[in-house]
Amino acid sequence: MLRTAKRIALATMAGSGLTAVVARSSWRQRRLLVLCYHGVSLADEHEWNPELYVTSMRLRERLELLRGLRATIVPLAEGMRRLREGTLPPRAVSLTFDDGAADFRLRAVPVLAEFDAPATVYLTTYYVARSGLPVPNVMVPYLLWQARGLTAVDLSSHGAFTEATDLNTASGRAFATRRIVEARVGDTTEGKDRRLDALAETLGLDMPAIRLRRHLQLMTPDEVRDLPRGLVDVELHTHRHRTPDDEASFRRELAENAAMIGDLTGRAPRHFCYPSGRYRHAFLPWLRDAGVLSATTCVTGIAAPNTEPLLTPRLVDTSHTPDATFAGWVTGAAAILPQRPATLMD
């Protein structure tokens, strides 16, 4: 209901000319919209998880829309600096991509280069050092989705199931995913990878072909090194894609992440993205002590001069985000509508 009302309000604002007024305003020029993307499909990932994946065609359409709205795409580091200084260009937008999957290099970078659109990739590094291995906790639900035609499959050897599992429903696949992932806690990285092969065999899937297509793998060290300078900045996302609550573990995750990115890029990363959008008040001083200048969340919003830089909001763009909603945030019109209050995890 709320989303429908907002779409109607945005349409009304556009029709009345108010959207154009907001877009040209000094109010909008003092704000930075940070866009968030996760994956760009190599094949069918956007059908499996349209909230996390878009197609390369969809990404190209978004960049064309930004051009049509006369938005100015600025690198994140520059955008955060100019936000503080009050020197942002009209309708400033920064592009960010989470995780650093192989699809970023294979699908997103060519589109970014086509539009000369600078972007930041927040790189989690553990699986960068393990080239060729897919991320298991993400691959498990993808494999189960690939086998969604199966209504009675025996997964007892993969997660202590006591009865046949229906993979033809989202709830059945979600249940199976939880049980399989839980059963693998404590496994070595190599053990988890072997279990993926065994699961694929049970499901009748061609795991070698899936690996060859680079599904749900991260970029290799060489791919990170070869990212085009001036177009892509590599920044922090923790080493193992997690934010531990205890300070020592959090700092270690950040330090390992920073060290590997520094080795691969020759520069010290200074901007951070909370994995899975999970953040707490306690993290902020730890990030400041580590020299982090900004940290982005998955809370919907547009950054203002008084925004806490370590709690920078973003617009998470998905396959389902309507063009009008996207345009509303680029122009700033959506930001002046009532918003649900963000909840900070304490």
**Amino acid of residue 149:** G
Separation CA 153–CA 151 (nearest Å):
6
Residue ranges of the domains in the chain? Answer: 2-129+217-336, 136-212
Of the candidates 102, 86, 185, 92, the residue with the CA atom closest to the CA atom of residue 140: 185
Worst-scoring range by mean pLDDT, 27-36, 226-235, 329-338?
Answer: 329-338
Q: What percent of the chain has pLDDT over 70?
A: 93
Rounded to the nearest angstrom, the gap between the alpha carbon of residue 321 and the centroid of all alpha carbons in its chain is: 15
Label residue 21 by pLDDT band (50, 70, 90): confident
**Residue 342 CB neighbour total at 10 angstroms:** 12
The answer to whether 235 and 272 have CB atoms below 8 angstroms apart is yes
Q: Indicate whether 160 pLDDT > 60.
A: no
The answer, yes or no, to whether residue 343 has pLDDT greater than 60, is: no
Return the pLDDT at 165: 82
Mean pLDDT, all residues of the chain: 93
Please tell me whether the overall predicted TM-score, pTM, comes out greater than 0.85 for this model: yes
Give the dihedral of Cα atoms 160, 164, 170, 173; nearest 10 deg: 30
168 near 151, Cβ under 8 Å?
Answer: yes
pLDDT, mean of residues 225-233: 97
- Asked if residue 76 has pLDDT above 60, the reply is yes
Specify the residue for token string 């359409």: 61
Q: Is the pLDDT of residue 147 over 70?
A: yes
What's the pLDDT at 346?
A: 47
How many Å separate Cα 82 from the centre of its chain? 24
209 pLDDT higher than 90: yes
Report the candidate in 144, 175, 139, 143 with the shortest Cα–Cα distance to residue 160: 175
- Angstrom distance (rounded) from CA 77 to CA 80: 5
- Asked if 153 and 167 touch (Cβ cutoff 8 Å), the reply is yes
Q: Architecture of 2-129+217-336 per CATH? A: Alpha-Beta Barrel (3.20)
pLDDT on residue 289: 97
Give the residue-averaged pLDDT of 42-69.
Answer: 97
Which residue is listed with tokens 């806490």?
A: 308
Q: Return the percentage of the chain with pLDDT > 90, whole number.
A: 82
